[in-house]
Amino acid sequence: MESGQDNLRKRFLSWQCLLRQRAMRSGGGRPTPGMRPCLSLSDSGTFSEDVTVLINHSEPAADAAYFRHMVLKTHDPVERYGDALKYLAASYYQRPHEFADEMTGLFAAGGLLARALRARKACKLDFKQFNTYFHLPCSIRQLGQDSDGWQVTYWHNRLFNPNMPAEVVVLGFIPDWSQVEHHAG
């Protein structure tokens, strides 16, 4: 990756870590606009609803195991939510360089958007918050249940959403850094 593209990648991950840390520490863990990009399947620039995507450590196996442990140790969703906030607010987002640039999202397996994303295999994610904007063209791949990326995404979502659909699919969004548009005001 060229240094300009690598700088964009680093800037994006640093911004995402900052937004997510703030959301955990002072926003009750609720996703902010910068964590919920508008998603477009077309080249016309029209966007669908916002989607929540996760950023994950480059080596997510330990995170997946810990998230799973937190989910399974209690049946109380309030306790689980509190434990997740404490863990993620502490040092989880402190080192942006430890995160992979492939973002993940969990979708209902039979849902229209999930089917369209799997068929298209590409989309655009439009992140905006405060005066910062990232427009990321992404390729899409479906992650297998045995992959660390699927596991960390599934268990992270279970921490915050006890009413997830029974059948889910986890998709990976891989930015094309050579095509990214960025503005910071």
Residue pLDDT, tens place only, 45-69: 555 778 999 999 999 999 999 999 9
Percent of the chain whose pLDDT exceeds 70? 95
CA 89 from centroid of its chain's CA atoms: 16
pTM to 2 decimal places:
0.92
Position 47 scores a pLDDT of 59
* Mean pLDDT for all residues in the chain: 91
pLDDT recorded at residue 46: 57
Domains and CATH numbers, the chain: 3-184 (2.30.110.10)
pLDDT at 13: 96
Number of neighbouring beta carbons within 10 Å of residue 37: 26
- Asked if residue 143 lies in contact with residue 60, where contact means CB atoms within 8 angstroms, the answer is no
In this prediction, residue 27 carries a pLDDT of 83
For residue 102, CA distances in Å to 58, 109, 110, 172 come to 9, 20, 23, 6
For the segment 74-90, what is each residue's pLDDT rounded down to a tens digit?
A: 889 899 999 999 999 99
pLDDT at 33: 87
Ranges under pLDDT 50 in the chain: none
Length of the chain: 185
Which two structure tokens, joined as six digits, stand for 41?
A: 């399947």
Q: What is the pLDDT at residue 184?
A: 80
